[in-house]
Amino acid sequence: MTAVTLARATDAKQLPQGEPLPPPILAGGRAAPDAALVELDVTGLCKAYHGGPAVLDGVSLQVPRGQSVALIGSNGAGKSTLLRCCLRLIEPSGGEVTLLGEKVRALDKARLRRLRAEIGFVFQRHNLVGQLSVLSNVIHGAQSRQAGPGAWFHFLASRAAREEAMHCLERVGLAEFALRRADQLSGGQSQRVAIARTLMQRPRMMFADEPVASLDPNAGEEVMNLFAELIREKGLTLVFTSHHINHALRYADRVVALRNGRIELDVATAGVDAAALRGIYD
């Protein structure tokens, strides 16, 4: 399949002379993202392990502020690797990544740590500390701003930190579980706590790697609805991976499909249907 490039109707290079065109309105009443404010710029990104075949083979894409992008593709297509390379959780083999204005591959450890603190990353594995309270787990999201025991245990945290963490739990509908041990939660509840922890981080942008893959369908819908609400409320950019074509069409403004480490399709969700996306898996 030939790659289809996302139409950038709001790109300043394509605007007529004079007054800029008003931004189109997306589903849910959100204004379309401003293509002039690119928050993620990936150019020729490559990744191979120990001389093996390329997991990523020259991937290039731009994500403007406020856009929700779904990365789809079969297992091994490179979706998760792409997200991790963008934050150097996996070191790229080649190419460039500019994230929130920072050249990621040029950053030293301290600057990279500060950049990572601005990206909320929700994983398929919820990565909660089961022996600690839900509230303590949410407070862990403040570790990028605060060091020491006050960022580990709710009973040592400042009043302001506890109040902020409770607000985050309220936002995901789990305030009544604040003092429950995290290992007593259901899968859907655990993922919502992980999202609350990400909110505690005060992110400028969010990544999510198959956030509902381990959840039953009902819990998965609840989590994706929550993501959509939070992104809309806070005006955040979201890039998420998924095997659920319906989730990609429902919750993203744009779908980027990968096959064998390359972009196979890059299109606005308004311009594609489920049948076309299923062809990516053939």
State the number of CA atoms in the 13 A half-sphere of 226 facing the CB.
27
Helix %, strand %, coil % of the chain (to 5): 35, 25, 40
Residues 72/277, Cβ–Cβ less than 8 Å:
yes
Residues 51, 110: Cα–Cα separation, whole Å: 29
The candidate with the shortest Cα–Cα distance to 209, out of 118, 140, 120, 274, is 120
Contact in structure between 243 and 258 (CB atoms under 8 Å)? no
CATH assignment, 1-16+28-118+205-282: 3.40.50.300
| Distance in angstroms (rounded) separating the CA atoms of residues 224 and 222 | 6
Task: Report whether 83 contacts 241 (CB < 8 A).
Answer: yes
Condensed to tens digits (0 to 9), the pLDDT of residues 244-263 reads 899 999 999 999 999 999 99
pTM, whole model, 2 decimals?
0.81
What dihedral angle (degrees, nearest 10) is formed by the CA atoms of 6, 7, 13, 16? -170
The pLDDT profile of the chain, 282 residues, written as one tens digit per residue, is: 434 333 333 333 333 333 333 344 344 444 455 555 899 999 999 999 887 889 999 999 999 999 999 999 988 899 999 999 999 999 999 999 999 999 999 999 999 999 999 999 998 888 898 899 999 999 998 887 777 777 778 878 889 999 999 999 999 999 999 999 999 999 889 989 999 999 999 999 999 999 888 788 888 898 899 888 888 888 899 999 998 899 999 999 999 999 999 999 999 998 888 888 888 887
Q: Where in the chain is the domain with CATH 3.40.50.300?
A: 1-16+28-118+205-282
Quick one: DSSP state of residue 147?
-
pLDDT tens-place string over residues 178-234: 999 999 999 889 989 999 999 999 999 999 999 888 788 888 898 899 888 888 888
Kindly report the backbone phi and psi dihedral angles of residue 19, in degrees, each rounded to the nearest multiple of 5, phi listed first: -65, 140
